[in-house]
């Protein structure tokens, strides 16, 4: 079932888009709830979906050598997860694990990529905002925030 395009305004990567652009993206999204303990995706898996966190918290884990998975971040409401689903080779670069019950908007990454190619200004706006978000996360990680 398509997602109300007004819901997409809550997420920075879609807030600057036109109503028509948000309608196209909303047609690709579904609203899903997951229980605490659920793994949204695992590092190395094909990046088939982009997740927009509407409620709850998700921890981001990276494999670090032989020590196993290490938590590097916890993200909350209005955050995006699975950004590597939009960048070749389209493999998740981290594991996302629900630390609470969560509500997410799940977007088909392949279809979103097609829309981004078809509408280059929209694609640029989404990529630019996602890059900004990831850079902010890197700065927060480096500062220990």
For 16-71, the pLDDT digits (tens) are 999 999 999 999 999 999 999 999 999 999 999 999 999 999 999 998 877 778 88
If you average pLDDT over every residue of the chain, what do you get?
93
How many angstroms separate the CA atoms of 13 and 122, rounded? 10
How many angstroms separate the CA atoms of 101 and 91, rounded? 25
Residues 6+ apart with CB under 8 A from 138: none
pTM here?
Answer: 0.92
Torsion of CA 15, 20, 24, 30, to 10 degrees: 50
CATH number at residue 114: 2.60.120.10
Q: Residue 27 is part of which domain span? A: 5-143
Q: Look at the chain and report how many structural domains it folds into.
A: 1
Residues 6+ apart with CB under 8 A from 78: 10, 11, 12, 52, 53, 54
């Amino acid at each position: 079932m398509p997602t109300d395009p007004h819901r997409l305004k809550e997420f920075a990567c879609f807030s600057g888009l036109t109503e028509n652009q948000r309608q196209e993206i909303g047609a690709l999204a579904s609203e899903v709830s997951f229980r605490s303990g659920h793994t949204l995706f695992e590092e190395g898996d094909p990046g088939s979906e982009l997740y927009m966190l509407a409620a709850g918290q998700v921890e981001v884990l990276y494999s670090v050598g032989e020590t196993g998975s290490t938590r590097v971040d916890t993200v909350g409401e209005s955050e995006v997860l699975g950004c590597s689903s939009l960048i070749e080779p389209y493999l998740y670069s981290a594991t996302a694990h629900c630390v609470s019950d969560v509500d997410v908007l799940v977007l088909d990454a392949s279809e979103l990529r097609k829309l981004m190619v078809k509408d280059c200004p929209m694609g640029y706006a989404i990529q630019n905002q996602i890059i900004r978000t990831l850079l902010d996360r890197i700065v927060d990680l480096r500062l220990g925030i």
